[in-house]
Amino acid sequence: MSIERIYVIGAGLMGHGIAQVSAAAGKQVTLADRTMEMAEKGKARIGANLARQVEKGKLEASDADELLARITPAQGADGAAGHGIVIEAVFEDEAVKRETWEALTRSADPDAIFASNTSSISITGLATSTDRPAKFIGLHFFSPVPVMGLIEIIRGLETDDATYDACRNLAEELGKTVIESKDMPGFLVNRMLGPFINEAVFALMESTGTAEDIDTGAKLGLNHPMGPLELSDFIGNDVMLNVMDVLYRGFGDPKFRAAPLLRQMVTAGHLGRKAGRGFYTYDESGKKVG
């Protein structure tokens, strides 16, 4: 049976995108954040995305209005009753997520599915902060959500088949391709991406090549749209360091140790595009200038 009402909690970069693609698929969406103002800001971001599409002639203004009308901003975790699924996209902080899930457990219907968009925290572990580990799952969207075609679905140790099937069906309704991962550190995509970027940082650190040559090598030699160092700057060098630390701790395997240069850059505040400085330098609009 298809899920018609979706509660998205966390209206930031990921949450507003998840709400947008859900409403675009005809779902009724409640978009919640810590305050009503933040939830409304998330909805306004969707409005701005849609306005750009209307300007480019990719979307009718009336369709944009209808899509927006399907999204209701809300405050906090108390309003989840009456929704078939809750998708959580709050900060990547285990304590914050656990507290949020405890509150959602109190307000959501007993048969609602609980999905976390976490990039790195164990789904099996988060499920223990709820009353329904069998109905708890990972739905890992990629940024920007309306553009990226993938959803990685992560089954916790206790996730049941009905929950997986309902989420797979929902992901397909949202127009996404699904890959399925067991609940292992980094799941599938970050487990591949982390070591790839990390190895590029080691090569730079050891002066095997320049940043430009490492990135050009990946772009023209491997047909990647972005080189690993520019991609790390784009994602955030702090986020990539966290991915490596999660892999290293989770597997206890030295092959996942973070490159010392990556850690040093994070310590120095060279976090990438958002900080104006990383492996490259950026102007205020985020354009690469050096």
Ligand X SMILES: NC(=O)c1ccc[n+]([C@@H]2O[C@H](COP(=O)([O-])OP(=O)(O)OC[C@H]3O[C@@H](n4cnc5c(N)ncnc54)[C@H](O)[C@@H]3O)[C@@H](O)[C@H]2O)c1
Q: How far apart are CA 243 and CA 151, in angstroms?
A: 18
Residue range at the interface with ligand X (CB under 6 A); choices 66-74, 128-136, 138-146, 253-261: 138-146
Which two structure tokens, joined as six digits, stand for 280?
């490259």
Q: Mind telling me the catalytic residues?
A: 119, 140, 152, 190
Which of 136, 203 has the CB closer to ligand X?
A: 136
**Under the criterion CB under 6 A, does residue 216 sit at the interface with ligand X?**
no
Closest approach, Cβ 67 to ligand X, in A, equals 20
* Unique residue bearing structure tokens 């969406």: 29
Own/partner long-range contacts of 248-251 (Cβ < 8 Å, ≥24 apart): 249/185, 250/184, 250/185, 250/186, 251/185
Contacts of 1 (CB under 8 A, 6+ apart): 166
Concatenate the DSSP letters of all residues of 143-206 into one string. SSTTT--EEEEEE-TT--HHHHHHHHHHHHHTT-EEEEEES-TTTTHHHHHHHHHHHHHHHHHT
Strand partners, 32: 9, 74
Question: Which of 6, 8, 9, 244 contacts ligand X by CB under 6 A?
Answer: 9
| Range in contact with ligand X (rule: CB under 6 A) among 62-70, 134-142, 154-162, 245-253 | 134-142
Q: How many residues line the site for ligand X (CB under 6 A)?
A: 24
Q: By CB under 6 A, is residue 194 in contact with ligand X?
A: no
Is position 118 an interface residue for ligand X (rule: CB under 6 A)?
yes
**Using rule CB under 6 A, residue 138 touches ligand X:** no
Find the shortest distance in angstroms from Cβ 213 to ligand X: 27
User: Which residue's CB is nearer to ligand X, number 11 or number 211?
Assistant: 11
Element (H, E) at 98: helix 94-107
Instruction: Based on the shown chain and the rule CB under 6 A, indicate whether residue 91 belongs to the binding site for ligand X.
Output: yes
Piece of the chain touching ligand X by CB under 6 A; list 91-99, 150-158, 201-209, 275-283:
91-99
Half-sphere exposure of residue 9: CA atoms within 13 angstroms, side-chain side: 29
What residue ranges bind ligand X (CB under 6 A)?
A: 9-15, 32-34, 38, 89-92, 96, 100, 117-119, 140-143
